[in-house]
Structure 1
Amino acid sequence: MKFFLPDSQDLVDPSFDFENEQRAKDRRRQRHDLYAHEVFSQPAFDGFLVSKGMVDGFGALGSRYTLSQRLRLSQIGAPEFFRVNRAPHPLQIMGDCGAFTYVKEQKPPYSVDDVMDFYATCRFDYGVSLDHVILDFLPEADAPGAGPRAVPAAIRRRQELTLEYASEFLHKHTRGRHAFKPLGVAQGWSPQSYATSVKRLQQMGYDYIALGGMVPLKTQDILRCLQAIQAQRAHGTRLHLLGVTRTEHIEEFYRLGVASFDSTSPLRQAFKDAHDNYYHNGLTYTAIRIPQVEGNTSLQQRIASGQISQNQARKLETACLQAMRLFDSGRRSISKVIEVLLEYEDLYAPDAKRNHAKDYERTLRDAPWRRCACDICKHLKHHVIIFRGAERNRRRGFHNIWSFYRHMRDSGTDTHEFTVGQQVAGLKERACRTN
């Protein structure tokens, strides 16, 4: 099973000084900053997923690329743009249209030709057919006796449109003799409707099929859809889950024909989740919050209103950073570190329903970064567990990607056939500790 990392131009600055929090004066982002695969000496994922919607930008979302980056991508192609030759093992690049960027539109803003030109110009290894996301999940439509009215016409139209695009996409791919491998997209509103889409895509000639629109679904609903698809899936047909991880069920996904998936969850949890910010051996830990005084909006507002002094805030911020430094060198106890962390927390988050005392105690007691073999943890040490600024947070996200992939691979074989018994055990252990 392969893991593709969706691209959103997440890079880190190798010149960043974590003690003084300064960058090199001659730093140029595109030239000097590093992608995740350039940071590690061991594999962390199998490839990138690059979305046309992310590159071009659509509506209020905008592009994650500058104009010069978009031009450069089209001129030199994705392999050179992402510097995949610097990865510790071969990386493949999959392109898709980024259907969630235009999900509210009546129809996609692109044509099949637009999408194919994007894939060919960027020199992707795989290309996903143009699709239109169905967000509604209506399993009751599969019940005996449920008529056509159980599913609104607009939803059915999205499925038909996606299948029409897939047929046109495959026809033009064959006629144009494109080098990238085509994937047809299956959209549905229920287990049987997904199975119908897969059946029709196979009849067109697809043997690699991406399942779209499943990100909002509960895990059991995804499994129900995969089980329905299994009854229609031909021998040799592979499935790709767009935007879905659900690590505790990957073994079941594999048995039901899933050959690959993509997800930003390991990266985003590093700085988006309230508690699960750091991965280690199937467990998750809460990162230590030490926000920058100048970078915390609510804290700045309280300073501006005169509720607290800026000197007091900076003094506590500095004390927290110093406490973590001393703790990692064995010169400060856990209780003393937590004491100063909570004092600062009372200042920047006075209205919080509960503090992080128990979470911090567990994180500091286990100190998982000391046992991690990834290049980031070995280099950053305690800085990787500090929730503070993009350079630390993004590196922790990179670590999560590495940790997730390593745990996935170490539990399986060289052909990516793996089980997640250890990961499930880790999640159960975490649940017991939490409760």
Structure 2
Amino acid sequence: MTKFRFYFPDNKDFVDPKFDGRDNSRTKYHRQYDDDNYPHEILKELPYDGMLVSLAGVGTMQKRGKYYEQELTEDFYFLGAREFLRLNKPKFANVKLMGDCGAFDYHNEFEPPFTVDELIEFYDRGGFDYGISLDHIVFPYFKNEEAKEEYVKKGDDIHELIKESERRINITLKNAKEFYSKAKNYRFEAYGVAHGYDKASFIRSVKELQEIGYRKITIGGMIKSKTDELLELLECLGEVREPDTEFHLLGICRFDNIPAYVEAGVTSADSTSPLMQGLKGGKYYTLGENEQKFQESLVVRVRQCDHDNVQKHIDKHRDELRHHITTLNENNEFDIDLSNNALSVNECIKRLELDCLKKLQRFDETGLDLDITVKALIAYEKVTNESYLPSKLTPTKLGPLKRNEEKYKAFLDQRAWRSCRCGICEGGLMNILFRSNQSNRRRGIHNLAIITQHKNRVVESLQPQSKQEK
């Protein structure tokens, strides 16, 4: 039976369930974590098959973690991962927990800041299903000799780089041997980590891990690689992979490639990409009822006028913005009256923001006056986006800006959020705008729901025909 699990890394990506983007209201006396919901709590269907938690993020009782405050670290060790992450309800029984050391977070250090024993204590007290051995990440990866030559041409010392990479690979393999021996006494299943700077070193790592006894191996350090490099590496590793060895891709999952992953022996991967594409990239995913391929739209952006970034923009370009707003008014590029010279630049921009939000909310509720809504949206964008200022608007910028305007209009016209039943979109357009941290994170959580639907459909299509017929 074909299987492919998607793990979502825990980075405290939760939201206030009572947030309302129409007036930015939230839980009264809001307390992060206590009042917030994880994606699996706020969405109607499971947005992942498992969660991955890093020791570097949580920390130990003696060493501060990157993401967790001391109080949360103590709660994590006291409650265990499943209860802390609120996965201890029957409906989450099949959600797996995977732990790793978080090597990316200490990649600049000479040695890993943790010991094998500290890592095992983390997995044991956390109650993890799977635990990944202590590794030291290797960058960069060279797909061939030509890539190494290009590196040399830049003036970098490749011999020192390879020497350092070999040192890190040796640390990783040494720790893997110790970890495998000690992990036999605990309930979690052990994963080894394969690192390399080229195909040969990766192949050597996989072979040595298998000789130690590992049949679950993570492929690390490829997060910066291109798709063709990753797929080519997996094909090469297939030549030495034992039939019962399963690969996990650490920190990387390009969901279009799931069939190729499965063919190469990859049974799981973890990634924050769908959430980050929404949170920082302004992307909104959709998946038609009978479609397998998800689509990406660019959600409309309405910057917060009172936000520090917009206020700095106003202070920096105050004189130009005064003339810019006057010109936009004369050209009828917005539908409110800003001809009163007594209005400050801040007041003008605030009124344009309120007009834009009012029309977006009305369009969300009625589906009427698309052109009028887009007009208000673009007018506000032109006074809050530095690239639209006359002194900055070059011919090379004009094309991308126009395309963004077209994408905004297409997103609104499609009104996909109105038919989505993920558990986020029912709150309306104002809850998924590219605007506040709460709305941005909600959009990312919506993307998790869509990408998991896509993943499930692809995996189902890969099942043997007889299984599908049943």
CA distance in 1, matches of 2:233, 2:317: 54
Report the CA distance between 1:258 and its aligned residue: 0.4
The answer as to 2:162 corresponding to 1:159 is no
Distance 1:304 1:138 in 2: 44
State the match for 2:295 in structure 1: 283
Question: 2:315 and 2:143 mapped to 1: Cα distance?
Answer: 53
Q: 1:248 aligns with which of 248, 256, 275?
A: 256
Secondary structure in 1 matching 2:407? helix
1:267 corresponds to which of 272, 275, 300: 275
CA distance in 2, matches of 1:117, 1:68: 18
CA change 1:219–1:150 in 2 (3 A) is: farther
Say whether 1:74 aligns with 2:77. Answer: yes
Q: Measured at CA, do residues 48 and 304 of structure 1 come closer, stay the same or move farther in structure 2, by a change above 3 Å?
A: same
Q: Does 1:229 align with 2:237?
A: yes
Match of 2:379, SS state, is: helix
Structure 2 residue 189 is the aligned partner of structure 1 residue 181: yes
8 Å CA contact retained: 2:303, 2:310: no
Q: Any stretches of 5+ residues in structure 2 without a counterpart?
A: 148-157, 289-293, 323-344, 389-396, 465-470
1:45 shift after superposition: 0.4
Instruction: Confirm whether residue 55 of structure 1 aligns to residue 91 of structure 2.
Output: no
Residue 403 (structure 1) aligns with: 450
Partners of 2:165 and 2:421 in 1: CA distance:
48
1:127 positional shift: 0.5
Match runs of 1:366-381 below 5 Å? 366-377=414-425, 379-381=426-428
Task: Tell me, yes or no, if structure 1 residue 214 matches structure 2 residue 218.
Answer: no
Larger radius of gyration: 2
Range that drifts further, 240-249 or 301-310: 301-310
CA contact (8 A) 1:299 1:348 kept: no
Query: How big is each residue's C-alpha offset from its partner over 1:377-422, in whole Å with a ceiling of 9 and x where there is no partner?
Result: 1x212224411111111111110000000111133329x859xxxx
Match of 2:433 in 1: 386
- The change in CA–CA distance for 1:272 and 1:340 in structure 2 (over 3 A counts) is same
How far apart in 2 are the matches of 1:370 and 1:358?
20
CA distance, structure 2, for counterparts of residue 350 and residue 301 of structure 1: 7
Deviation, structure 1 residue 30: 2.1
Residue of structure 1 equivalent to 2:387: 351
Structural mapping, 1:107-146, within 5 Å: 107-140=111-144
> What's the offset of the Cα at 1:367?
1.6
| Contact residue 242 and residue 262 of structure 1 kept, 8 A | yes
Secondary structure, aligned partner of 1:375: coil
Q: Kindly indicate whether residue 174 of structure 2 is the aligned counterpart of residue 171 of structure 1.
A: no
Per-residue deviation, residues 144-199 of structure 1 (Å, max 9, x unmatched) = xxxx969722111111111111001001112xx11111000000111222122111
Give, in whole Å, the separation in 1 of the partners of 2:246 and 2:73: 31
The CA distance in 2 between the partners of 1:40 and 1:297, in whole Å, is 31
Query: 1:229-259, CA deviations, whole angstroms, 9 ceiling, x for partnerless residues?
Result: 1011111110000011111111101110000
| Partner Cα separation in structure 1 for residue 7 and residue 361 of structure 2 | 35
CA distance in 2, matches of 1:386, 1:230: 44
Where does residue 310 of structure 1 map in the other structure? 346
The offset of 1:28, in angstroms, is 2.6
Where has structure 1 moved over 4 Å in runs of 4 or more? 148-151, 303-306
Give the whole-Å Cα distance in 2 for the aligned partners of 1:34 and 1:80.
13
Deviation (angstroms), 1:92: 1.2
Q: Aligned pair in 2 of structure 1 residues 226, 331: CA closer, same or farther (>3 Å)?
A: closer
Q: Alpha carbons of 1:128 and 1:234: their partners in 2 closer, same or farther (altered >3 Å)?
A: same
Partner of 2:67: 64
Of 245, 248, 257 in structure 1, the residue corresponding to residue 265 of structure 2 is: 257
* Cα distance change on mapping 1:149 and 1:328 into 2, 3 Å: closer
Aligned amino acid, residue 218 of structure 1: K
* Distance across 1 between alignment mates of 2:161 and 2:311: 49
**Given the two structures, how large is their TM-score scaled by the length of structure 2?**
0.81
| Cα shift at 1:373 | 2.6
Pick aligned residue for 1:363 from 411, 430, 435: 411
RMSD: 2.5
**8 Å contact 2:22–2:361 — kept in the other structure?**
no
Q: TM-score, normalised by structure 1?
A: 0.88
Match for 1:106 among 106, 110, 116?
110
How far apart are the structure 2 equivalents of 1:239 and 1:25? 46
- Aligned counterparts of 2:409 and 2:21: Cα–Cα separation in 1: 23
Indicate the larger mover: 401-410 or 26-35: 26-35
Contact preservation (8 Å) 2:278, 2:440: yes
Conserved in 1, the CA contact under 8 Å of 2:277 and 2:283? yes
Q: May I ask how many residue pairs the two structures share in their alignment?
A: 407
Taking a change above 3 Å as real, the CA distance of residues 305 and 230 of structure 1, as seen in their structure-2 partners, is closer
Choose the corresponding residue for 2:369, options 333, 337, 352.
Answer: 333
Q: Relative contact order (alpha carbons < 8 A, sep ≥ 6): 1 or 2 greater?
A: 2
**Match of 1:244, as an amino acid?**
I
Comparing 95-104 with 134-143, greater Cα deviation is found at: 134-143
CA distance in 1, matches of 2:238, 2:219: 13
SS in structure 1 at match of 2:222: coil
For 2:416, give the aligned amino acid. Answer: P
C-alpha contact 1:209 1:240 (8 A) present in aligned 2: yes
Unpaired segments of 5 or more residues in structure 1?
419-435
Contact preservation (8 Å) 2:286, 2:296: yes
**What is the distance in 2 between the residues matched to 1:142 and 1:201?**
28
The equivalent of 1:320 in structure 2 is 356
- Cα separation, 1, equivalents of 2:381 and 2:313: 15
Alignment of 1:192-203 (within 5 A): 192-203=200-211
> What secondary structure, in the 3-state scheme, does the structure 2 residue paired with 1:396 have?
helix
Other structure's SS at 1:387 match = coil
Alpha-carbon distance in 1 for matches of 2:54, 2:301:
32
